[in-house]
Structure 1
Amino acid sequence: MGPLDAFWHLVNFAAPALGVAALAAVLTKLLWRKALAARPLRQLWAVSAAAGLGALVLGWVLFGRDGRMATYALLVFSCAGALWWRGFVAKPR
């Protein structure tokens, strides 16, 4: 595998986490506009994306390969949990 192939493998591995994080952060910001006024969208996306990438890596380590439905379920729950924690539990700086 060449460097370009390795790059595209990494991009495709991270794409579900980054996409789910972006969609979840935008919808969260729209639904709870007043409650999350102090939270920038970029911050919500970053926390959710980090949790999603962690979930994908954990699923890859546990199952030995990428693309299991349990990994994607963990991705969704970890993104939602990170948004809930950052948006409503952690104090704004």
Structure 2
Amino acid sequence: MTLGLFLLHLGGFILPALAMAVFMPWAGRWVLGPGARPVRRHMAVHAVMGVLVLVAGLWLYGQDGKMNTYIALVLVSATLEWGMWRAWQSK
């Protein structure tokens, strides 16, 4: 495998985590209301945790692209956003 193909495969592997990292902070603002929380910090946390979920799914199942891994990615991202907003506290 050439370096270009490896980078293409790596990019395709982490793309769902990066897409969720961009989407979730804005979805959190839409659902939980506007706030003065830094969006870039939320994106960074989502990106790191999303890649960790995808790597865990690859390790657990032996292949990437399993639907269970993507479900876990969505659940972890939503739980992270809920936790970073501290939505369990009353306003």
What residue in structure 2 maps to residue 65 of structure 1?
63
- What is the CA–CA distance in structure 2 between the aligned matches of 1:54 and 1:82, rounded to whole Å? 13
Which residue matches 2:85? 87
TM-score, normalised to structure 2, is 0.86
TM-score, scaled relative to structure 1: 0.84
**Partner amino acid for 2:59?**
V
**Which position in structure 2 is the counterpart of 1:33?**
33
User: How many residues are treated as equivalent by the alignment?
Assistant: 87
AA in 1 matched with 2:86: F
Task: Report the CA distance between 1:21 and its aligned residue.
Answer: 2.0
Which sections of structure 2, spanning at least 5 residues, go unmatched?
none
The AA in structure 2 aligned to 1:51 is M
Residues in 2 aligned to 1:2 and 1:62: alpha-carbon distance in whole angstroms: 26
User: Which structure 1 residue ranges, 4+ long, deviate > 4 Å from structure 2?
Assistant: none
Alpha-carbon distance in 2 for matches of 1:81, 1:4: 35
2:18 aligned residue: 18
Contact 2:28–2:82 (Cα < 8 Å) also in 1 = no
RMSD (CA atoms) = 1.4
